[in-house]
Chain A
Amino acid sequence: MNELVPPKPKTIDLVNASLAKRRASERLFRGIGLISIMMALMFLFMLFYSIVSKGYTAFRQTHIQLEVNFDQQLLDPAATRHHDVLSSADYSSLVKASLSKLFPDVTSRNEKRQLHGLVSAGAAYQLRDMVMADPALLGQTLQLWVPADDDVDMLIKGHIDRDGPETERRLRDVQIAWLDQLAAQEKLSLKFNMLFFANGDSREPELAGIWGALMGSIYTLLVTLLLSFPMGVATAVYLEEFAPKSKWVDLIEVNINNLAAVPSIIFGLLGLAVFINFMSFPRSAPLVGGLVLAFMTLPTIIIASRGALKSVPPSIREAALGVGASKMQTVYFHVLPLATPGMLTGTIIGMARALGETAPLLMIGMVAFIVDIPSDIFDPATALPVQIYLWADSPERAFVERTSAAIIVLLGFLFVMNALAIILRKKFERRW
């Protein structure tokens, strides 16, 4: 045998010679791995930081305290207290009057307009809603906090540079002086931004809220859930429990796996062509949005449900079949209850994904400017992510803040849904 072994240095010496270099490359490789994961986590942190730092201020809004005199002569001269009269009265002049009372020395037309610009148009709506709710207010004088204009809000939150040149600023020097005066009298304050949660969309940033979009999202998800959950579970049950092995079933499986990877915008095209163009469903309606998202979510639910069914051991089925239950009874009474937590988990994750989806909704017109809060699934509506998209496009500085705040709300919902899914999984997880 010895003639086969060539005379050469001992292995161990050769190994030791290159060892340092190999150790270095090991450390390098490991370092690259660590840097990669750190970068990924840093991106996540940056994303959250950028959004939270931009958005948290939107939850508080600058308000101005005014002494409002609900002048009966102005609002309801005939004292009819009639609904239509009260609703169409000129409340903005009440606001203007209060402002003039605060700054009696402002007289020129131009200056007056600038003064009135400090208060949001929403102040008038606020007064109207108050009077409509309680007509007895007529004739009284109250101290009220009304929302300030978005430019004022931005100044107070420090997003407008006070010391910059006046021409490049959205607020004039004189307006800033008035605001300083108000602040000195403690008539200027940041209060919880109720309007942001209660209003629909608006062109005025200080009046724009997410309630409309949120309701739109809820209606859309409702339709999605009602369609995709039963269908997804039914498909999974059929494929997992009843389907014979055949080319047809293979085709269905390939289709499901493929649909899971089809870009969401394609589903939007499907919705546009089939539901809106061909079937003449209403545009911008949560019904169509829900249908489209249901098609999109279906593969996720099917795949998760099949996983849940697979994890139910065959012995359970055999036991049920053994005592004479039919196949359908076995599935319904024994397999399904055990697989339900897994199916629900998959469904919640699918719904969370649908909640964040934007592109297909753009296709079917849920991207319109809609002020009214939708009241059913046929009303024109938009959805939370679409609202974010719309606001992100708006030029006003105040919309940046609101967009970020809307994102925080959206992420909050997603967090809750995912946490629910995780809890569900943990609680009902079974080891067979």
Chain B
Amino acid sequence: MHTFTFVLILLMLMVASFFFGRRRAVTVSKGDVRSLNSLPGYYGYYTALWCGIPALLIFTFWQFSESAVITNLVIAGLPEEVTLLSKQQLNLVINEIRNLVSDNIVASTISPEIAAAAERYREMQAISKMALFAVMMALGVGGATYALSRIHQQHKARNKVENTILIFLIACSTIAIFTTLGIVLSVLFEAILFFQAVPVTDFLFGLEWSPQTAIRPGQVGASGAFGAVPLFTGTMLVSAIAMVVAVPIGLMSAIYLAEYASPGMRALSKPMLEVLAGIPTVVYGFFAALTVAPFFRGWGESLGLAISSESALAAGVVMGIMIIPFVSSLSDDVIYAVPQSLRDGAYSLGATQSETIRKVVIPAALPGIVAGILLAVSRAIGETMIVVMAAGLAANLTANPLESVTTVTVQIVTLLVGDQEFDSPKTLAAFALGLVLFVVTLVLNVIALYVVRKYREQYE
């Protein structure tokens, strides 16, 4: 029986206690429902909440702590020569036991101690499951009984139920904060581990990136090269190409649609641009790798240029295409927000439409447009699939768009995809890169959102 079945059973219990609670309320009212403080349904909800919430809390807590507790118990039961092993080797042993438990393929031959430990692990899992079920059911029934015993005519069930819901709402609204906190902590924590092995300055200012040389732990500080500068320049190069494509086309499309296009054309073009925004990035990546990159290479050959098949150009151009609708819709918003009175002022002086746009509308909308471009840059920097599929892996320190470069996101993916030891510097390097990525995009976003807010206030 799966643990999630417990939750289903609990849900059924809750439904049952709802009916019990409601009936009890009707009973205590002696048939006169209006004498109750709240509607009978609220007594039902009250009982159901008492039945479900304590049991669910226990369930969640159990799920999170179960594996750690069992692991510790199993380790404590292992022979001494195993428990005295270094932390890393111990982790290997634990992994082996866990693999054995979940019937995964185990590489080496299994020692009898390990097999015994795995057996114990399984037993404890079974016991834990039974215990969890018992505790949950006890809490569910107990909670419901307690709630039923509390129901009387003056009982303020509605207030209690509503307060519980309010607490739930407040809890949900803090999720955003916890997500941010979770991102910061998890990335920061691993990054700090990484910086213990590789100095921050080497990472931020080093010119050579070759994480592949540092597979074995302990060897890292000496020979691994974790200088991220080539990744930063590569990211900037690809993003710059993307912006060169996206900003003029996006901005001019927005201007054309907002100021010149006939209503019919607008009705047709706007949704089509939105389609461009809705296409998954993996599709763009495929398009870049299989259509655009060969096209550029062939084009380069005919011109006598050597264009790499994983050139920054192809990835950048396709990324630019992806960002066009982003730039155009943000520009459209800010251009729309420029008051008509400014346009009228310019027209009344005899300005042509393009003069009005270039000399009045755009300057007035500039803060908003700049903010939109910052958001677009942030998106370009964080974009993953296009570069993973179309840009290279080799960390070249170059500004030549025809050559192959790699980016921060490409390296994060390469370092983390596939099986690897979690605490090797190679893996941790990905989190350090993630930290840089997060901080840079955060700064760009915060500036952009602040500028947009100020801009909106100006014209409201």
The answer, among B272, B382, B449, for a CB contact under 8 Å with A266, is B382
Decide if A177 is an interface residue (CB 8 Å cutoff). no
Segment among A32-40, A76-84, A161-169 that sits at the interface with chain B: A32-40
CB distance B350 to A389 under 8 Å?
A: no
The answer, among A235, A273, A356, for a CB contact under 8 Å with B175, is A235
The answer, among B162, B434, B438, B446, for a CB contact under 8 Å with A326, is B162
CB distance B358 to A258 under 8 Å?
A: no
Contacts of B282 in A (CB 8 A): 356, 358, 385-386, 388-389, 392
CB distance B437 to A266 under 8 Å?
A: yes
CB distance A29 to B449 under 8 Å?
A: no
CB distance A238 to B170 under 8 Å?
A: yes
Whether A359 touches B385, Cβ cut-off 8 Å, given contacts A44-B272, A392-B289, is yes
CB distance B177 to A252 under 8 Å?
A: yes
Residues A1-21 near B (CB distance < 8 A): 15
How far does the alpha carbon of A279 sit from the alpha carbon of B175 in the complex, in Å? 18
CB distance B166 to A258 under 8 Å?
A: no
CB distance A356 to B290 under 8 Å?
A: no
The answer, among B273, B328, B383, for a CB contact under 8 Å with A263, is B383
Decide if B179 is an interface residue (CB 8 Å cutoff). yes
The answer, among B248, B289, B422, B430, for a CB contact under 8 Å with A277, is B422
Residue of A nearest to B382 (CB): A263
CB distance A359 to B409 under 8 Å?
A: yes
Segment among B50-58, B120-128, B181-189 that sits at the interface with chain A: B181-189
How far does the alpha carbon of A299 sit from the alpha carbon of B350 in the complex, in Å? 46
CB distance A40 to B273 under 8 Å?
A: yes
Contacts of B441 in A (CB 8 A): 261-263, 266
Dominant secondary structure of chain B at its interface with chain A = helix
Decide if B416 is an interface residue (CB 8 Å cutoff). yes
Residue of B67, B169, B275, B324 most packed against chain A (CB within 10 A): B169
Residue of A nearest to B413 (CB): A362
Residue of A nearest to B38 (CB): A326
CB distance B253 to A36 under 8 Å?
A: yes
CB distance from B190 to the nearest CB of A (A): 6
Residues B356-383 near A (CB distance < 8 A): 357-358, 375, 378-379, 381-383
How far does the alpha carbon of A237 sit from the alpha carbon of B352 in the complex, in Å? 48
Decide if A396 is an interface residue (CB 8 Å cutoff). no
Residues 376-405 of chain A, each 1 if its beta carbon lies under 8 Å from chain B, else 0: 000000000110110011000000100110
Contacts of B166 in A (CB 8 A): 238, 242, 328
Residue of B nearest to A276 (CB): B422
The answer, among B98, B175, B379, for a CB contact under 8 Å with A231, is B175
Decide if B355 is an interface residue (CB 8 Å cutoff). yes
Decide if B35 is an interface residue (CB 8 Å cutoff). no
Whether A30 touches B354, Cβ cut-off 8 Å, given contacts A43-B321, A411-B279, is yes
Provide 27 A-B residue pairs closer than 8 Å at the C-beta atoms, listed in order of the A residue: A26-B352, A26-B353, A33-B255, A34-B260, A36-B248, A39-B249, A234-B172, A237-B169, A238-B172, A258-B446, A259-B180, A261-B379, A261-B445, A262-B382, A265-B413, A266-B437, A270-B179, A273-B187, A274-B182, A278-B186, A279-B64, A280-B98, A295-B179, A367-B417, A389-B389, A392-B389, A404-B286
Interface residues on chain A, number (Cβ under 8 Å): 90
Decide if A22 is an interface residue (CB 8 Å cutoff). yes
Closest 10 CB pairs of A and B: A263-B382, A356-B280, A33-B256, A273-B186, A36-B252, A29-B354, A234-B172, A359-B384, A238-B169, A328-B162
CB distance B174 to A37 under 8 Å?
A: no
CB distance B287 to A50 under 8 Å?
A: yes
Decide if B269 is an interface residue (CB 8 Å cutoff). yes
Whether A242 touches B179, Cβ cut-off 8 Å, given contacts A262-B441, A269-B187, A389-B282, is no
Contacts of A327 in B (CB 8 A): 162
Residue of B nearest to A392 (CB): B286
Residue of B170, B172, B449 most packed against chain A (CB within 10 A): B172
Residues 276-314 of chain B, each 1 if its beta carbon lies under 8 Å from chain A, else 0: 101111111111011100000000000000000000000
Decide if B107 is an interface residue (CB 8 Å cutoff). no
Residue of A nearest to B162 (CB): A328
Decide if A255 is an interface residue (CB 8 Å cutoff). yes
How far does the alpha carbon of A393 sit from the alpha carbon of B286 in the complex, in Å? 9
How far does the alpha carbon of A388 sit from the alpha carbon of B385 in the complex, in Å? 11
Interface residues of B, Cβ cutoff 8 Å to A: 64, 67-68, 98, 102, 158, 162, 165-166, 168-170, 172-177, 179-180, 182-183, 186-187, 189-190, 248-253, 255-257, 259-261, 269, 272-273, 275-276, 278-287, 289-291, 321, 324-325, 328, 350, 352-355, 357-358, 375, 378-379, 381-385, 388-389, 409, 412-413, 416-417, 422, 430-431, 434, 437-438, 441-442, 445-446, 448-449
How far does the alpha carbon of A362 sit from the alpha carbon of B189 in the complex, in Å? 21
Contacts of A242 in B (CB 8 A): 166, 169
Residues 116-157 of chain A, each 1 if its beta carbon lies under 8 Å from chain B, else 0: 000000000000000000000000000000000000000000
CB distance from B379 to the nearest CB of A (A): 7
How far does the alpha carbon of A266 sit from the alpha carbon of B352 in the complex, in Å? 47
CB distance A261 to B378 under 8 Å?
A: yes
How far does the alpha carbon of A230 sit from the alpha carbon of B385 in the complex, in Å? 30
Decide if A320 is an interface residue (CB 8 Å cutoff). no
Decide if A418 is an interface residue (CB 8 Å cutoff). yes
Whether A252 touches B173, Cβ cut-off 8 Å, given contacts A280-B67, A358-B385, is yes
How far does the alpha carbon of A272 sit from the alpha carbon of B328 in the complex, in Å? 34
The answer, among B68, B249, B355, for a CB contact under 8 Å with A40, is B249
Residues 351-387 of chain A, each 1 if its beta carbon lies under 8 Å from chain B, else 0: 0110111110011010100000000000000000110
How far does the alpha carbon of A230 sit from the alpha carbon of B172 in the complex, in Å? 9
CB distance B170 to A22 under 8 Å?
A: no
Contacts of A362 in B (CB 8 A): 384, 388, 413, 416-417
How far does the alpha carbon of A174 sit from the alpha carbon of B251 in the complex, in Å? 59
Contacts of A274 in B (CB 8 A): 182, 186
The answer, among B278, B409, B448, for a CB contact under 8 Å with A265, is B409
CB distance A263 to B442 under 8 Å?
A: no
Whether A328 touches B278, Cβ cut-off 8 Å, given contacts A22-B355, A234-B172, A298-B175, is no
Residue of A nearest to B389 (CB): A392
CB distance B278 to A418 under 8 Å?
A: yes
CB distance B186 to A269 under 8 Å?
A: yes
Decide if A115 is an interface residue (CB 8 Å cutoff). no
Whether A235 touches B385, Cβ cut-off 8 Å, given contacts A26-B352, A400-B290, is no
The answer, among A47, A51, A358, A404, for a CB contact under 8 Å with B281, is A358
CB distance B412 to A269 under 8 Å?
A: yes
Residue of A nearest to B184 (CB): A270
Contacts of A414 in B (CB 8 A): 278-280
How far does the alpha carbon of A356 sit from the alpha carbon of B281 in the complex, in Å? 7
Residues A21-70 near B (CB distance < 8 A): 22-23, 25-26, 28-30, 32-37, 39-41, 43-44, 46-47, 50-51, 54
How far does the alpha carbon of A267 sit from the alpha carbon of B434 in the complex, in Å? 10
CB distance A388 to B177 under 8 Å?
A: no
How far does the alpha carbon of A298 sit from the alpha carbon of B67 in the complex, in Å? 28
CB distance from B420 to the nearest CB of A (A): 11
